[in-house]
Structure 1
Amino acid sequence: MERASRTTSAGWVSAIGHALAVDGLDIAALFRELGLDTDVLTDPDARISQDSMTRVWHLAVERSGNPAIGLNMARVLRPGHFSVVGYSLMSSRSLREGFGRVVRYQRLIGESSDMMMQIEPDTCRLQFAIHGDRLPAALQSVEAAMAYALAFCRWMTADPIVPIKATFARSEPQDVAPYRALFECPLEFDAPAYSLLMSRQLMEAPLATANDSLAKLHDRFAGDFLARFESDPVTHQTRQVLCRLLPQGEPKRQTVASAMNMSTRTLQRRLQEEGVSFQQLLERTRRELALQYLGQPQLTLFEIACMLGFADPSNFFRAFKRWFGLPPGQYREQVLQDQSEEE
């Protein structure tokens, strides 16, 4: 039976792109060389298959000649790469609490990621794994996660944190220098797992960026997003593809299925299992996006119709009146009036 591919968030792929650029590589060029859709690189809500990213890592190593290229992730730190998960981490009271949130919400970053936190009397071990989908995961992907996590710790504390030990479930590379330069601690290769062993006192120290109110707000956003993602994963993924394709015209079922690496019949069956048809999801997505776009006064009604994939604006006007009982222009006037009164 065909199944949906495990995916990686566009935010994490953006981080990978910045890391590859350190070695002079253009991730868009790598995507094109591999026959992958480059549109996902500019869509913050997109998801990219894990196998596609595995192929990108392999090609990046081949083109750069740098098998330690994953460690570049420590040099491109941006909280937005984790989306709401990153902001949730930033507002946590301690690194331990923050990485607890990363463990809880990690599927939003990548469905193949598997991070664990083990607490001992004096230490805290962050353990990392990236599971392959149809292809074995590239070792650079898990080393990238380790490098990014350490860089985040150093950035959050404004301190040059040094782990007690870094372990790698791989043989020792020919050139260990990049690993020594980044981790600055004893390195153990051929270990049972990839991990960073940290001081528990350091992990539980208060953070200057702590904000309980923001942390609760981010938890709610991340929790809601995760609940939708886990309960209806194919519906969620299909909606993201539709959002990306709609500005090009009404997406065909076959085009969407191809973008998700499955057959049209499989897509139809998987959506039915989650209680929705392709046409229902298309209409629901258009309806939700229409409300978002109409709240942006700089967009004309014609532009909104095009962004929703309507070839003729009159079709958009009729659809909107069917959905909400009034024309889009009248709806916009009411929304903008309400906004001005609230101000």
Structure 2
Amino acid sequence: MTSNTRIKMPAGFWSGIQQLGIAPHDVARKARLPVTIITDLVVTTDQYFAIWQAYSDLVDDIAEAIIKLTTVFETAQYPPAVLATYHARDYRDALKRMARYKQLCPPESIRITEEGEHCTIDLDWLYIEEPGPPMLVGITLAFLLELGRRGTGQHLTARLVKFSHQMGDIQALENYFGCHIQSGANCNRLTLDREDLDRPFVTYNAELLEILTPVMDQSLDEQSRSISFTEKVKWILKRSLAGGRPDLQTVAWELGMSDRTLQRRLTDEGISFKNLLTQVRHELAREYLADSSFDIKEVAFMIGYEDHNSFYRAFHKWEGDTPSNWRTEYLSTHN
């Protein structure tokens, strides 16, 4: 997915910020975009990120802005894909639908894991190289909890929330989420009590779901066919690399196909699994090294190298320089 990918802008965003006392044209001006962007139904990835960053720049505190916009956003303004989650049978059903239909509203993507007493929801980025603004990260995770609260009619709380960036007034966020907030983490993650997922939604509407689900599934299938197979595999590799070594079998299983089919599909697009994995590691290495908050040994681990010396050799082969020298030069030219 490129920076020119078309993204549907939530209809309630502009009315929501107006309720918070922020003029839409001020956001457009801050984002260096034409005022007509306010009435556009779709925007590019770059424009989408610029709008969220502009909103963040115009508020006094990012944490307060996250909470206010999440709670003021009216349910009636939800796009169809989100309405299908709001009217789900229970919180688990809603989250599963959200993970599936979020692909219709890139670039955010969520990955849900249930284990023991906990459910973890990780925020990833769909087919793009650079992560989105911290404001968008915060809004996304806060909305997932807000969805459970509105659907169940109960004031649910999280067990733990992790953000990769500093998020302003941490105490305000802890009051909202009802748990400890960890900033500067190596992921963006919402952890819930697994038993909360069984709570039924008072907003459950079987008749509406029967109408929306086939439409959403058809749109998802059409969108899936428009994205190259290589991009799909790259995305899976990127979200699976941290601390692990995703192999061909693992990726094939996630795509619901055999190892042989995966290899054939990649060959048809002119690349091997091994070379694609190397390409992904190289791209992620540059991305993580550009962030000075990550230790170089940590970067090696995050892209699947258990031995940091192996990472040094690989990086020197890619860039003709050591990771530390590359970082120093990069930061000197981009700060």
Q: TM-score, normalised by structure 2?
A: 0.60
Match of 1:5 in 2: 4
For the residues of structure 2 that align with 1:42 and 1:168, how far apart are their CA atoms? Answer: 32
- Deviation of the 1:130 alpha carbon: 4.1
The equivalent of 1:16 in structure 2 is 13
Matching of residue 205 in structure 1 with residue 205 in structure 2: no
Residue of structure 2 in register with 1:113 after alignment = 108
- 1:267-306 to structure 2, matched below 5 A, reads none
Quick check: 1:117–1:126 contact (8 Å CA) kept in 2? yes
- Which residue of the partner structure matches residue 96 of structure 2? 100
Corresponding residue number in structure 2 for 1:31:
28
Alpha-carbon distance in structure 2 between the residues aligned to 1:130 and 1:18: 26
- Per mean C-alpha deviation after superposition, the further-off stretch among 130-139 and 112-121 is 130-139
**Structural mapping, 1:31-180, within 5 Å:** 31-42=28-39, 46-68=41-63, 69-109=65-105, 111-130=106-125, 133=128, 136-171=131-166, 173=167, 175-180=169-174
| Equivalent in the alignment of 2:284 | none
1:32 Cα deviation from its structure 2 partner: 4.0
Q: Is the 8 A contact 2:164 2:188 kept in 1?
A: yes
Maintained 8 Å contact 2:20/2:69: no
Letter in 2 for 1:76: V
Distance 1:37 1:232, change over 3 A: farther
Alignment-mate amino acid for residue 10 of structure 1? M
Q: Which amino acid aligns with 1:142?
A: V
The one-letter code matched in structure 2 to 1:61 is: S
Aligned to 2:322: none
* Cα RMSD after superposing both structures: 2.8
Q: 1:67 to 1:209 in 2, by over 3 A?
A: closer
The 1:218–1:32 alpha-carbon spacing in structure 2 relative to 1, beyond 3 Å, is same
How many residues are aligned here? 227
Correspondence list, 1:191-230, <5 A: 191-230=185-224
The offset of 1:100, in angstroms, is: 0.5
Q: Secondary structure at the match of 1:115?
A: strand
1:57 is displaced (CA, Å) by 2.6
Q: Gapped runs of 5+ residues in structure 2? A: 228-335
Report Cα offsets for 1:275-307 as digits up to 9, x if no partner.
xxxxxxxxxxxxxxxxxxxxxxxxxxxxxxxxx
Relative to structure 1, is the Cα distance of residues 81 and 193 closer, same or farther in structure 2, using a 3 angstrom cutoff? farther
* Secondary structure of 2:192's aligned partner: strand
Match of 1:247 in 2: none
SS of corresponding position for 1:170? coil
Q: In structure 2, the residue corresponding to 1:114 is in which secondary structure? A: strand
Q: Give the Cα–Cα distance (whole angstroms) in 2 for the partners of residues 174 and 229 of structure 1.
A: 36
Q: Provide TM-score, normalisation by structure 1.
A: 0.58
2:257 corresponds in structure 1 to none
The answer to which of 97-106 and 71-80 deviates more is 71-80
Q: Does the 8 Å contact 1:116/1:127 carry over to 2?
A: yes
- Higher-Rg member (1/2): 1
